[in-house]
Chain A
Amino acid sequence: MAHNIPADLKYTKDHEWAKIVGDTALIGITDFAQSALGDIVFVELPEVGRTIGAHQTFGVVESIKSVSDLYSPVSGSVIESNSGLQNTPELCNAEPYGSAWMIKVKLSNTQELNSLLSASDYEKFLSTL
C-alpha cells in the first residue's frame, strides 16, 4: 500500500517525521506508522519545558492492541505539546502530518539534522520492510 510521504519533511527509521522551521522542529508520526498501528486510542506527550535527546522516547502512542514508544528525531527542549490529542487521539489516524502533530522542539544541535532521512530516503526504507 502506498503511504503519504510529504516531500518537505524529514524522517526517521522509527517512523517519526520532523518539520524543520528555523531552529525549531515540529514532530509527529508518519502515515505508515498510523496505518501499521491501527485505531489510535491514547497519546501521552511530554510537558512543555522538558529536555529530550535524539532517539530518546518522548511519549507513547497506543492502539487498541499495542503500546508504542515515540522517539524524538532531534535533541532540544519541548516548547509546545499538542495536548488536544489527549481527547482526540483518532486524529493521529486521520491527519498524521496535520492536526496530529505531537510536539514542537527548540533544537539544541542542528548538526543532527544531517542524519535525518529525506522523503525519498524514507520511501526507500519503507520498501525494504
Chain B
Amino acid sequence: MTIQKTSLHEEHLSLNAKMAPFAGFDMPLQYSSVKEEVLAVRNHAGVFDVSHMGEFLVEGADAVKFVDFIVTNDFKNAENLKAVYSPLCRDNGTVIDDLIAYKLGENRVLICVNASNIQKDWEWISSKIAGFNCTIKNQSDDYSLLALQGPEAEKIMRDLGILSAVDFPYYSILETSLESEKLIVARTGYTGEDGFEVFSSHAFAKSFWKKLLKLGVKPCGLAARDVLRLEVCYPLYGHELNDEITPLDAGLGWTVKLSKESFIGKSALVEYKARYQLVKLSLERGIPREGYEVLDANNTVIGKVTSGTMSVVTGKGIAMALIQKDKNPADKKYFINIRNTNYEANFHTKAFITGGHK
C-alpha cells in the first residue's frame, strides 16, 4: 500500500514535525512538545490537519431518511444545519465506525468518518443505498479538513471573516465562502474545547493553515489530539469501539435511539444485554497504557485498558477500560497491572476534565 499524504504534508515537514504512519497516511504526531500543544488547545488555540478523515456526500430526496436508517442516533429529527454524532452498526449491532453526520439541507448530508475505516464504511454504506432516492459520493480525496480548537477559536474565525453568523452554536454547521472558495464550517471537534472544523479545497487549506500559524495558533499533532480526547473521555474507534462490540458495551446508549421506527441493527440492539462496561480510571502514580489488565480487589482480571496516557492537565495517568459486566465489582475498586504490580485506580463517574465547549 502506498502511503498517502495530506495537502499540508510539506508544511508539516517544514515545521520539523515528528511524522508517523496513521491509517495509511504520513501524519504529524507532534511538532514541538505534546504538553505545549495540549495546553495551547485548552488555553488558547491549536490547529490540527485532519485531512486524512473521510467524507461522504449523500444527496437526493431521501438523503436524510437514508442516513437516519444507517445510523443508530436520531438524525431525521435533527434541525437543519445541525451535526449528529452516531455509531454506524451492522445488523447484529456491532460497531463498524463512529461518525458525524452533518445536515446541510433536507436533501444533502455530509458524513465524516474515521480515516482508518473509510474503505470499510464506504463498502457498507454504499451497499445499503438501493431503494432510497439518493446518491452517495466518496469525497475523501477532495476535501482537506482543518480543526481549529480552543477558547480563542471563535474570535480567530470571526477576525478572518469566515464566521459572520451571530448565532452559531456547538454542533452546528454552515456553508460559506471566502476568497471565492466554498467552505463547510462545523462547530465540532475532538478536544472537548470550543472549536471549528473546516472542510475545504486543498488550496484553501494551505492558505488557511499559514494564516492561522501567522496569528500564533499552535500546530498540533495526533499525539496531542489523543491526550485531549482522552482527558474528556471521547471514544476512539479501534480502542473503545471495535468490530466485536456494540455501542451499548461502550457507554454509548445515548446514541442508540431504539424508539426510531427502523434502523440497521435495531432488532439486535433491542434484545442486546451489554457484555462490557466502559469505565474511567486514573492513577496517583504510574501511567496506564492500552492493553494493561484491570483487576478487582480479589486479583481477578476483569478487563483491559483501551486507551491510556498521562493527562497534561491533571498530571495523572488516565485511562478508559472495558470491563466485563458480569465481573464489574460493586465496590468500584479497580486495580491496573503495570509491569507486574497492581496499582489501585480512582474510579471516575465523569470525564477527567470538563472541556470548555459551548
Partners in one complex: yes
Q: Are the CB atoms of B223 and A42 closer together than 8 Å?
A: no
Main SS at interface, chain A: strand
Residues of chain B lying within 8 A (CB to CB) of residue A42: 286-287, 310, 317
> Quick one: CB contact mask for B29-57 with A, threshold 8 Å, 1 for yes?
11001110000000000000000000000
Main SS at interface, chain B: mixed
> Is the C-beta of B309 less than 8 angstroms from some C-beta in chain A?
yes
Q: Which of A29-57 contact B (CB under 8 A)?
A: 38-39, 41-42, 44
Closest chain B residue to A57, Cβ basis: B339
Q: How many residues of A contact B (CB 8 A)?
A: 11
Residues of chain A lying within 8 A (CB to CB) of residue B287: 41-42, 62, 67
B287 to chain A, nearest CB (A): 5
> Is the C-beta of A2 less than 8 angstroms from some C-beta in chain B?
no
Q: Are the CB atoms of B286 and A64 closer together than 8 Å?
A: no
Known contacts: A39-B34, A42-B287. The answer to whether A64 contacts B339 by CB under 8 A is no
A35 to chain B, nearest CB (A): 10
A39 to B34, CA, bound (A): 7
Q: Are the CB atoms of A64 and B289 closer together than 8 Å?
A: no
A20 to chain B, nearest CB (A): 29
A47 to B240, CA, bound (A): 36
Residues of chain A lying within 8 A (CB to CB) of residue B317: 42
Q: Are the CB atoms of A39 and B286 closer together than 8 Å?
A: no
Inter-chain pairs besides A39-B34, A64-B310, A65-B226, 5 sampled, C-beta below 8 Å: A38-B30, A39-B33, A41-B287, A65-B29, A67-B289
3 closest Cβ contacts across the A-B interface?
Answer: A41-B310, A64-B34, A39-B35
